[in-house]
Amino acid sequence: MTRNRGGGRSWPAGVALTLLLAWLVLYPIVLLVVDGLQGDALRTFVARSGEWRALWASVWISLASVVLAAGIGVPLAFLFEWFEFPGRKLLGSLIALPAVLPPFVGVIAFLFLYGESGFAARFLQFVFRFQQAPWHLQGAGAILLVHAYSMYVYFYLFARAGLARLDAATLEAAQALGAGRWRTIVRVVLPLIRPSLAGAALLTFMTSLGSFSAPYVFGGGFRVMTTQIFASKQNGELGVAMVETVALALVALAGLVLLRRTEGDAILAGLGKGTAPRRRALRRPLVRAATTLAGWGLAVLLLLPHATLVLVSLVPYATWTTETLPPVLSLVNYGRLFAEPERLEPLVNSFWMAAVSTSLAVAVGLAAGWLVVRRRVALRRWIEGLLALPWALPGTVFAIALATAFSVSAPAQLRWILVGTVVLLPLAYFVRNLPVTGRAILAGYRQLDPALEEAAASLGAGGWRTLRRVTLPQLKPALAAGASLAFVGALGDFVTSILLYTYRNRPISMEINAALRVNEIGVAAAFGVVLMAVSAIVLSIGARR
Amino acid sequence: MGVEEAFLSLDELRVRFSDTVTIGPVSLTIARGEILALLGPSGSGKTTLLRMLAGFERPDGGTVRIEGEDVTAVPPARRRVGMVFQHYALFPHLDVGENVAFGLHGKGKAGRGRGEIVAEVLSLVDLAGFERRKVQELSGGQQQRVALARALAPAPRVLALDEPLSNLDPSLRERTRRELRQLIKRIGITAVFVTHEQEEAFDLGDRVAVLSAGRLNQVGTPEDLYERPANLFVGTFVGRANVLRGAAARALGATDGEVILVRPEQLRFGAGAGERSGLNGVVAERRYTGAAAFFQVDLEAGERVEVEAEPRAARVGDRVCIVAVRTLRLADRQGEV
């Protein structure tokens, strides 16, 4: 029996952590709302029809992304979880690969592949002797293409996990009661995995609402809220940018509340205790061959962006003009990344900022885990809520909020000038990392048997020794998972960086953007490959058990 | 027992979880080298009592003394109470030897290295040479013994065991019970353990403390509890018992506000109907167990009693007269049983 006494003597630590989180997470948002609603920016916002169009575009693009991602991800999940065919295992893990592409890198890979002068267009021009590129990769369609490609993974992974938890006996019961295959899927399977699907839908919606890279590169005249905010800030209309940010935040919160409702109760998931249905081997040779072929075709399609990036990274400057395939390939771009100091600097910057922000987020996550799960301090709901808040708001919102909060020197209000210093960007990464590390570490703490720590205490171990010898080794998988996701997120960040970077801490994504402007596509791609490779390595370390 | 003999004493220990759940006040003394069982149904507060002894729960009032020293405010890490957890709580990332050595940190005993102590304790629990094994590779019984060895290694003053046998197969439980008792007696350590099984408490404990709803009902030897239960709860929780009220009770000598408690083996089938102080009834069910049989008899007074007798003593449907060899008169307290 454990007792809830509001944490006993830990309450000062609980209050301290709550205040720290409130200052970092909640306070900037409050300042943003207060500052944004002063002056006539609100009136300007309401009067401009472009603002409303952008807001509506954000909403419908996000909803369409959910539908597209579900349409691709859910059938794939059924295929890989329920059927057995040659190469299933390998394909099943390849298919999650879009996840290792940081958003901005994925977008430029798409540009190189499907853009007007990309491989696909050049190939068709070559085959059919077109005079011009057969299409423009621009506008809502292009954005949706990128979103569908990068976000179906959420549905695929969540639905697979849900299907794996199903109890085979439930499905057999439905069949014994006379339900056919479709009826079983519609009436039994889908309702049972609804929490997984709702989780994926929520994640997809929030990610597309905050998506900046795709609309920034492919949007053209088509504006969504994130690019609208960026444009306002570039035009010096800071007040309007703030109002736009508040509007985007409201849409995000509304989406969160509405989609949370559909998640339903977890009682359904809690029932399943049996084993998952056995995979059915596809026996008919034709079906088997077609499935295998389609599977491999899909894998190639999914890996094309990665391959494109590698290929373009091997193209030296100004050697590729009208040819279908680049005529010269060399490693010169990679040499330039490390030999030219102004290229090396962004690499170093991104690494130190990702490392520092991740370490801080892990430290806060550990403190939160201890206070919330072990000490059960009175403010634990606040701590959990504040940790999760940055996840509920798009990156643009937080970037603008932090820029607002730390653009004045008012120590009495706990505000200092950080805009223009190297501190602000890693601080923003840290705040953005809090939900993912906090969630992983809290979950790890909850799975930890409190008896282990008590056993250590009964054997004479003090607080630090218990933490070092028992708690941390047990939390290692959770720490690795949370830290690796946070590190990869910070390393490849584009949306926060573009709003908050200074020349002295410019990260890799800004350097890629700059290289693209001057047509140094080889260097841009080489940076992309480095990001992709490091992300894959870090994520695989984090996923190891 | 005299106060000077008390090695471990709990004095007026109490704790409140909510308005409805309170444990204590409980007072208990335990002699050096004694094994005490805390017996009670789930939710009776027995585990909480054990955790207060080990220092994991802080009492709202009362004191815990070990060898006369007040340890109520001493944290678990410095209390020197060895604990065996219900699910053992072995550290999964450490091997058997490292688990056992965990409590020997910073304890350089004169002339003996840590390795030596670990080897000695492991051989004590019959696991000599298991140092480098992973704990996940061990059977349930072996894990239990590693947990015991780990608790014993730092030479605690008291050993606390939380349902130490509940995680074992029933077939293994009885043997382990006896081995556990022999081991504790050989070391001579004072031990307190929690169980909800009467048989286990009787087998393992020198004395048994019976708890219900956070209250201590009775402390005594197994014989005391079985033959002289302090109240109706102890009488029915410890061993099988028939509880008779009303006419049947009055026929056996109970006065108002009293019930009659009679064990199945203390009832006997009489020679025939009409015998003095007998209860007449019809055999409704018979359950055969080999050496004996349990007969469910519906009494004319409307109650049903269980009689343990020789298997061929009666058949279902027989009209019988039951004679009580020995009965207990206990106060009939509302809300109990």
Q: How confident is the model at residue B277 (pLDDT cuts 50, 70, 90)?
A: low
Q: Which region, left, alpha or beta, applies to residue A463 given φ > 0 means left and ψ of -120 to 50 means alpha?
A: alpha
The H or E element spanning position B81 is: strand B81-84
Contact A458 B82 (CB under 8 A): yes
A474 contacts in chain B (CB < 8 Å): 92-93
Cβ proximity of B131 and B140 under 8 Å = no
Output the pLDDT for position B5: 65
Q: What residues of chain A score a pLDDT lower than 50?
A: 1-6, 266-273
Say yes or no to pLDDT of B111 above 70. Answer: no
Residue B199 C-beta-side C-alpha neighbours within 13 Å: 9
Q: Which residues of B touch A3 (CB under 8 A)?
A: 15, 17, 57
Residue B3's pLDDT band (cuts 50, 70, 90): very low
Q: In this predicted structure, what is the pLDDT of residue A400?
A: 92
Nearest CB to A455: which of B48, B83, B105? B83
pTM of the model: 0.80
Shortest Cα–Cα distance, B97 to chain A (Å): 14
How far apart are alpha carbons A408 and B271 in whole angstroms? 103
Residue A518 DSSP SS3: coil
- The predicted pLDDT at position B59 comes to 92
pLDDT at A266: 47
Q: How far apart are CA A109 and CA B252, in angstroms?
A: 94
Buried b (16+ CB within 10 A) or exposed e, A157-189: bbbbebbebbbeebbeebeeeebeeeebeeebb
Q: Per-residue pLDDT tens for B55-94?
A: 888 899 999 999 999 999 998 888 899 999 888 888 888 8
CB of B141 within 8 A of CB of B176? yes
With beta carbons under 8 A apart, name residues in chain B contacting A455. Answer: 83, 85, 89-91, 150
Task: Note the ipTM here.
Answer: 0.75
> Which among A454, A460, A474 is the nearest to B105, CB-wise?
A460
- pLDDT of A2 reads 44
Q: What would the pLDDT profile of B192-241 be if each residue is shown by its tens digit?
A: 999 999 999 999 999 999 999 999 999 999 999 999 999 999 999 998 89
Say whether B169 sits in a helix, a strand or coil. coil
Give the model's pLDDT for residue B272: 55
> In B, which residues are within 8 Å of A449 by CB distance?
87, 89
Give the percent of chain A with pLDDT over 90: 43
Cβ atoms of B96 and B122 within 8 Å: the answer is yes
Nearest to B204 by CA among B175, B173, B181, B176: B181
Note the pLDDT of residue A263.
Answer: 61
Helix (H) or strand (E) holding B295: strand B293-299
Contact A449 B150 (CB under 8 A): no
Task: Indicate yes or no: CB of B85 within 8 angstroms of CB of A451.
Answer: yes
Residue A275: per-residue pLDDT: 64
Nearest by CB to B91, from A458, A462, A470: name it: A470
Q: What percent of chain B has pLDDT over 70?
A: 93
Other C-beta atoms lying within 10 Å of the C-beta of residue B128: 12
Residue B155, phi-psi category: left (phi > 0), alpha (psi -120 to 50), beta (remainder): left
Report the chain B residue with the minimal C-alpha distance to residue A459: B103
pLDDT, chain A, mean: 87
Q: Which string of b and e fits B184-202 if b means at least 16 CB within 10 Å?
A: beeeebbbbbbbbbbebbb
Chain A closest-CA separation from residue B37 CA (Å): 19
Mean pLDDT calculated for residue range B171-195: 92
Report which DSSP code applies to A275.
P
Position B198 scores a pLDDT of 92
> How far is A162 from A77, CA to CA, in rounded Å?
9
Which residues of chain A have a CB within 8 Å of the CB of B38?
none
Report the SS3 class of residue A410: strand
